[in-house]
Amino acid sequence: MGARAPRRRAPGDAPLTAVEGAATFPSRRDYHDAVSRLRDEGFEMCLDLCAVDYLSHFGRRLPPEVSPERFEVVVQLVSVSGRRRVQVRVQVPESDPVLASLWDLYPGVEAMEREAFDMVGIRFAGHPDLTRILMPEDWEGHPLRKDYGVGRVPVQFKDAPGPR
């Protein structure tokens, strides 16, 4: 047996994002300006942008001033010169899933925003080519949404009742 294992995080512990303190939560209106300011502060690269559908985990822990919405777009910026990262998380409501595109600040988000649109259905205003990127052109629905039916293949056992 090795040394005693260090303590794991328990379900009641503070959420990791609060511990790390590296995330900012701008409102949807400020989002573009906030990222623009961060870029001026030296965050030269936008490494990742993804969207999360919080439909069935609505009560996630957020800073008190942020009111949760169904969708969240998460942007990872990095400062190559300062060797720092920052995370920008913005809430996007279900009724109007539109967000300003970062394409004019970071042209590299083009494919990532297309993926977020394709998979979760966030519409990025100002994106030059907002088409589906992974799914076929005529696909309906956004597969990474939580209410997207995945379907299933019935497993056939001998003498089994038909697919339920």
Partner 1 sequence: MSEHDMGSGLVQETYEGSQELADRAQTSPEELRRERGAVLRLPEGGAPGSSDVDVERTGDDSMIINLGPQHPSTHGVLRLMMELDGETVLRTKPIIGYLHTGMEKTGEELTYQQGATNVTRMDYLAPLSNELVFALATEKLLGVELPPRAVWIRMLLAELQRVSSHLMWLATNGMDLGSTTMMIFGFREREMVLAFFEKTTGVRMNHNFIRPGGTAADLPDGWEDDVEVICETVLRRLETYDELLTGQPIFRERTEGVGAITAEEAMALSVTGPILRSTGVAWDLRRDMPYLAYDEVDFDVVVGTYGDNFDRYAIRLNEVRESIRIIYQVLDKMPAGDYRVQDKKVTPPPRARIDESMEALIHHFKIFTEGFKVPEGEVYVAVESPRGELGCYLVSDGTAKPYRLHVRAPSFVNLQALPVMLRGGLVADAVATISSVDPVMGEVDR
* Residue ranges that bind partner 1, judged by CB under 8 A: 1-11, 13, 15-17, 44-48, 50, 52-53, 55-57, 60-61, 74, 76, 80, 83, 85, 87, 94, 103-104, 106-112, 115, 117, 119, 121, 128, 130-150
Closest CB 65 distance from partner 1, rounded Å: 18
- Asked if 128 contacts 105 with a C-beta cutoff of 8 angstroms, the reply is no
Candidates 152, 30, 161; CA nearest to 91 is 30
Closest CB 158 distance from partner 1, rounded Å: 24
Please, which residue, 147 or 159, has the CB nearer to partner 1?
147
Closest CB 47 distance from partner 1, rounded Å: 6
| Distance (Å, whole) CA 30 – CA 90 | 9
Please, which residue, 4 or 158, has the CB nearer to partner 1?
4
Closest CB 54 distance from partner 1, rounded Å: 8
Please, which residue, 3 or 158, has the CB nearer to partner 1?
3
Distances in whole angstroms, Cα of residue 37 to Cα of each of 26, 33, 40, 101: 12, 6, 5, 15
